[in-house]
A and B are shown apart, each in its own frame.
Chain A
Amino acid sequence: MSAEITSPTPIQLAEPATASASVAAMQSVVRRQRIQDWFFHKITMVFALTVLFVLVGIIISLINGAMPALSEFGPGFITTVEWDPVNDKYGAAIAIVGTLASAGIALLIAFPVSFGIALFLTEVCPVWLRRPLGTAVELLAGVPSIIYGMWGMFVFAPMFSEFVQPLLKTTFGSLPLIGALFKGPTMGIGILTAGLILAVMIIPFIASVMRDVFEIVPAVLKESAYGLGCTRWEVVRKIVLPYTKTGVVGGVMLGLGRALGETMAVTFVIGNANKLPTSLFSPGNSIASTLANEFAEASTKLHVSSLFALGLILFVITLIVLSAAKLMLMGLSRKEGVK
């Protein structure tokens, strides 16, 4: 009986020999892949770090270029109201006031309009119309800045000076406090016009951020409000807005960051006067428009360095505003939960 037990087949005896060879082959493949993955990680990391290096490089080169002016004028540079290339005396106050005033006006106007557009696109609009209208708003964002400048200077400003500005002057010019803002010759170009053009430019950015955050609101919350008999307006005011508060503020600050840095549109319509603006109708200068106008022809070292100092101030302000915007938007997406 015991003779009928068959011994293990020859194939089984031969397997350990090929098994170790295949294990070795597999190990070499894995080792090769691990090296490839390491290279992949390092190469892509180097390219990703270029953006960081560029940011650091910008800050360093701006500080470097601004050093002569800053050491000559000191920290008072920011508050000095003077820009005199002939006598080589410079101060940033005029440009800063122009930048902040035009961006502030732009925000005041763009915020309600963007809110209206975002509200329309998320709640009111029929679904088949959503895509084309959304694309139309985003096309506004795609129009280059210089085109806004040309439209502003050749079409908008003449119309503005002929029809709207006299109306504003007669309506508001005689009021006690804010009347001073509406005095002055109605030339069409100036701080107010620059603010209005900037408003049209930043509306698509703010509207698209608002639209994204409005869509994040859980339908359950809105539906329970509707179930209680709220009108659509009440749902937006009492449910959607409080839920997306941080996102809305983030979007507004993103728009502000854009408005601060806009160059060509502002250069065409702000009037390019190196004087402090006294009313909404007076011409002024923004940091970006000063740079655009004067950099290519700046002759003295102090002039060039003061322009670099202006660029540094603009970059720092924009950096702070955009970082704050990004932090707020990140806070909102964390609220969404892990996707």
Chain B
Amino acid sequence: MIQVKNPVYRRRLLVHRIGMALSVSAMALGVFALLWILATLLINGFSALSANLFLADTPAPSTDGGGLRNAIVGSLMMVGLSTAVSTPIGILAGIYLAEYGEENKVAQLTRFVTDIMLSAPSIVIGLFVYAMYVANVKHFSGFAGSLALSLIAIPVVVRTTDNMLKLVPNSLLEAAYALGAPRWKVSMMVRLRAVKAGVITGVLLAVARVSGETAPLLFTALNNQFFSTDMNQPLSNLPVVIYLYAMSPYDNWRELAWGGALLVTFSVLALNILSRTVFAQKAPK
């Protein structure tokens, strides 16, 4: 390296080096936090991993053993229903925003509101579903929980679909129009098809997001100690079970909470990585 004697430049270089070192340490801090959390989950949750976790139901207080079968099944059912509801609504809304979004004020307002709802507190969504639905039918239910989860998932799907559809180059669309296709065919069969993978990514990210949500389920689906597939009654689910068991005095409950936390986190992370690798959308040409 060239040795520079100029004191002004040496000071500038020192400031630069300190800044770069701080930047590298910030990155290291972020990665360290992630690894610490994952290591915590693996260390504490590994002992709970056994076939029993998936075969036995949540244990009663002061009972030994037990598993998370009812919670896993309940979560799968609620996430599945909310995905089934939010995917078509989200994709069609995203299509509207991409197709007609530049032309009118309503679409721009909708896009603005969607981005806000994306980061809105999920507990408020739970309050809303409680006030609208649970208070009226006078009981908690898996349907209410699915409704709350759908309301959280819809903005995610809308935003991803909208962003993906806008990536399709105009030349492709103009070629379709030139062949005489009506607007809806160009939108569904050319535009949407070109970014299929990206839209699936959006759906997977929405699934990952709602799988871990606890707050909205606290006053909609509540929890159920027993195995049940009745969506019209309180339904057991992993996040609420983890919440209740983590702060409890029983050892086997806390162990189950860590096991459940391990399950939830690694499925969410697997979905995230899957959507970035297998379903990675290349910009359509």
Question: Chain A residues in contact with chain B, CB under 8 A?
Answer: 33-34, 36-37, 39-41, 43-45, 47-52, 54-55, 57-58, 61-62, 64-65, 112-117, 119-121, 123-125, 133, 135-140, 142-151, 153-155, 200, 203-204, 207, 231-234, 236, 254, 257-258, 260-264, 268, 288, 291-292, 295-296, 308, 311, 314-315, 318-319, 322-323, 326
Contact = CB atoms under 8 A, between A and B. Distances in A.
Contacts, number: 259
Interface of B: 12-13, 15-16, 19-20, 22-27, 29-31, 33-34, 36-37, 40-41, 44, 88-89, 92-93, 95-97, 99-100, 106-107, 109-110, 112-117, 119-125, 127-128, 130-132, 151, 154-155, 158, 182-184, 187, 208-209, 211-215, 218-219, 222, 239, 242-243, 246-247, 257-258, 261, 264-265, 268-269, 272-273, 276
A153 B96 contact: no
Contacts of B31: 133, 136-137
Nearest to B97: A48
A148 B37 contact: yes
Given A116-B22, A116-B26, A145 B124 contact: no
21 contacts: A41-B100, A49-B110, A51-B158, A117-B23, A124-B24, A136-B30, A136-B31, A139-B272, A143-B268, A143-B269, A147-B261, A150-B261, A151-B41, A154-B246, A232-B16, A261-B124, A262-B121, A263-B214, A291-B215, A292-B218, A326-B112
B113 A52 contact: yes
B121 A296 contact: no
A37 B34 CA distance: 48
Contact of B120 (A112, A125, A233, A315): A315
Given A154-B44, A155-B40, A291-B127, A40 B187 contact: yes
B259 to A, nearest CB: 12
Contacts of A319: 116, 120
Q: Top 10 nearest A-B pairs by Cβ distance?
A: A144-B212, A116-B26, A261-B121, A44-B96, A231-B16, A33-B182, A40-B184, A233-B16, A233-B19, A48-B96
Contacts of A295: 127, 130, 218-219
B215 A143 contact: no
Which label, helix, strand, loop or mixed, suits the secondary structure of the A interface? helix
Contact of A48 (B26, B110, B214): B110
B20 to A, nearest CB: 6
A149 B213 CA distance: 13
Contacts of A48: 92-93, 96-97, 107, 110, 158
A226 to B, nearest CB: 12
B151 A200 contact: no
A231 B116 contact: no
A58 B119 contact: no
A203 B29 CA distance: 11
Contacts of A204: 30
Given A49-B110, A151-B40, A142 B269 contact: yes
- Pick the most buried of B29, B116, B127: most chain A CB atoms within 10 A of its CB: B127
A314 B124 CA distance: 8
A147 B89 contact: no
B212 A145 contact: yes
Contacts of B183: 37, 40
Contacts of B114: 51
A114 to B, nearest CB: 8
Nearest to B246: A150
A144 B272 CA distance: 12
Nearest to A138: B272
- Pick the most buried of B40, B128, B211, B243: most chain A CB atoms within 10 A of its CB: B128
A288 B123 contact: yes
A151 B128 contact: no
Given A54-B151, A65-B127, A254-B119, A117 B30 contact: yes
Given A115-B26, A135-B276, A264 B243 contact: yes
A245 B259 CA distance: 44
A44 B119 contact: no
Contacts of B15: 231, 233
Contact of A65 (B27, B97, B131, B209): B131
Contacts of B99: 44
Contact of A58 (B26, B44, B128): B128
